[in-house]
Amino acid sequence: MKSLTHLDENGRPRMVNVSDKAVTRRTATAEGRLLCSEQTLALVRQGRTPKGAVIHTAELAGIVAAKRTHELIPLCHSLALSGVSVTIELRDELPGFLVQSEVRSTGQTGVEMEALTAVSIACLTLFDMLKAIDRAMVIDQVAVVSKTGGASGAWAGTAHD
């Protein structure tokens, strides 16, 4: 069994030492969904929600969250991110929103946690801004869908579509 990297030899938590790892270009993409009623989706599409521009606000919240991931998750490295994007699409077939993030960095550790945090906070922001009109919303299927860089190389999973 592989040793647990976030625990020292005495079982105490520690931040992983990445100083000997190679500096590489790293990317991670993640996505998730916020499921809602058809009526909620229609109000967003029409721009008639009580709290205004919910899509742009949630996209911005996701970007800010990616930059602050190390403040939210213990033992997560503080990273110099070179790019973060968050996009939210209205999806009638869900009904709801598809939230996607892409995070880029050049460094010694991956950016999967930053991509997941961006999607999660964007979903939570949508929920917060829409809860007055739809309390039955569900955040669903938040996952890393691809990554590049580092010793483990590139990986791509299956998108939710």
128 among known catalytic residues: yes
77 is in an annotated binding site: yes
6 is annotated as contributing to ligand binding: no
* Alpha carbon distance 75, 67 (integer Å): 15
* Residue among 26, 33, 58, 30 nearest 115 (CA): 30
User: Does 116 show up as a binding residue in the annotation?
Assistant: no
76 annotated ligand-binding residue: yes
Q: What are phi and psi of 123, to 5 degrees?
A: -65, -45
Burial class (CB in 10 A: 0-12, 13-18, 19+), 82: middle
| Residue 56 in marked binding region | no
Catalytic, out of 8, 20, 92, 128: 128
Q: Which helix (H) or strand (E) holds 126?
A: helix 112-130
- Which segments are annotated as binding site? 75-77, 113-114
- Which segments are annotated as binding site for substrate? 75-77, 113-114
Query: Which amino acids are annotated catalytic?
Result: 128
